[in-house]
Chain A
């Protein structure tokens, strides 16, 4: 029988079992790295560095995990904090006009593929809407869970998801709802 996340966490807490932590990393690495790739606008090297930092922080602070949320939600929250701290260091969030930042983004060549257009459209959303859409629509978190991850009110998450989706639909209008 496969051990649950809670079983593995118990092993880490009781025996400091790094193999158990390795299993947790294997289980959750894909969604965490995926989330960070989306947040960093597909900068895979940076996203993977942040993902490593996320898991190392999770290991160091595993005793603060109280099981009130899913382990994956807790990980997403750490990942999002890592991303924000890194973004602050890079002056991406502090003292920059989002519209100006978007104007500086290199225009990507038009690609016939929906995947490319969708990724491009996602990367053009403001950070607060992009984060909410990625967490709720792509990673399947509830609005409540996303609110915990992003540390913002539930109503703000709902608004951000709604606005983000509307913008995406507008940008992808050409593809229609096939």
Chain B
């Protein structure tokens, strides 16, 4: 059972609760808030670049001085032009999809209304 909005008592109760002016209340609250968190996003790119460089160096040494690169380049150059074109387009689409998905995941916060 909900309170009847037309009830005399309810009406009076609402009337005795007027709007309270802010009068600096919000500023007082904001002054007492804890300091903002250190943004981890500043360090994030450096960590990612560092990890990428480390992984590349490891891959170079573990693959016999990057010999696999020369082999793969030779194989690629032997491919027909259409295949090469398809490969480039496919890689681009894959990269773009991954980037968009990562951006969406980092910004989406699930809050139900």
Contacts and interface: CB of A to CB of B under 8 A. Distances in A.
11 contacts: A4-B113, A22-B26, A29-B22, A30-B21, A52-B25, A137-B10, A137-B14, A139-B17, A140-B14, A158-B1, A177-B9
Interface of B is mostly: loop
Given A26-B22, A136-B3, 12 more contacts: A14-B107, A22-B29, A25-B26, A29-B22, A30-B21, A33-B20, A52-B29, A67-B113, A133-B13, A137-B3, A138-B16, A165-B9
B45 interface: no
Interface in B11-67: 12-17, 19-22, 25-26, 28-30, 32-34, 36-37, 39
A137 B17 CA distance: 11
Nearest to B1: A158
Interface string A66-104: 111000000000000000000000000000000000000
The 9 A-B pairs of least Cβ separation, nearest first, read A67-B112, A177-B8, A30-B20, A25-B26, A138-B13, A55-B29, A67-B111, A6-B111, A137-B13
A16 B34 CA distance: 11
Interface of B: 1-3, 8-10, 12-17, 19-22, 25-26, 28-30, 32-34, 36-37, 39, 107, 109, 111-113
Contact of A178 (B8, B19, B22, B34): B8
